[in-house]
Amino acid sequence: MTRSERLYRVLLQAYPGSYRREYEEPMMQHFRDQLRGVSGASQLMLFWIRTMLDLARTAPIRHLENRLPWHGFARFTSGARTAIFFARHAVRRIEAMEVQPRRRPDNREIPLSQECKRAFHSAIKEARALGETGVTTRHLVRAIRQQEATLASRVLRDHSVEGL
């Protein structure tokens, strides 16, 4: 483990324990993936500045989520939140390979499209209608498939993925 990885693992202590237990390993993997693309002292310094800004912005929000259960993705099960985390991570990789990069600083979260917001809302409504306590990946898949004009829906249909 590199010094940067050890330091990042220590910094993760700023997040609530329940959040760390669920996301520490995916966050460490994301950190390692980004760190691999860093070469040279100046890039490393910029990488750490972005990392610290992200930590300063997101850690307080994660603490508030424990106090405000309707905030953020609190209605989603850990499996659904993990799927969303990795989907956003994949989008960052895809955007990095675009010929015309998007003009968004690396430390900002990817904004949700209207289709994505509709899918999340639909998944929440379905879970409620079924009397279930949390939104699962099954609800997400069904809700994404309902957004017929999206790439995600086409991929699910092309691979015959149903709402499990």
pLDDT along the chain (164 residues), means of 10: 94 91 91 93 94 92 66 79 84 70 57 82 87 88 88 84 65
| pLDDT for position 65 | 64
17/30 Cα distance (integer angstroms): 19
| pTM for this model (two decimals) | 0.54
| pLDDT for position 70 | 47
| pLDDT for position 39 | 92
Structure token digits, residue 43: 């890039």
3-state helix, strand, coil in the chain (%, to 5): 70, 0, 30
| pLDDT for position 102 | 60
| pLDDT for position 110 | 65
Phi, psi of 112 (to 5 degrees): -85, 135
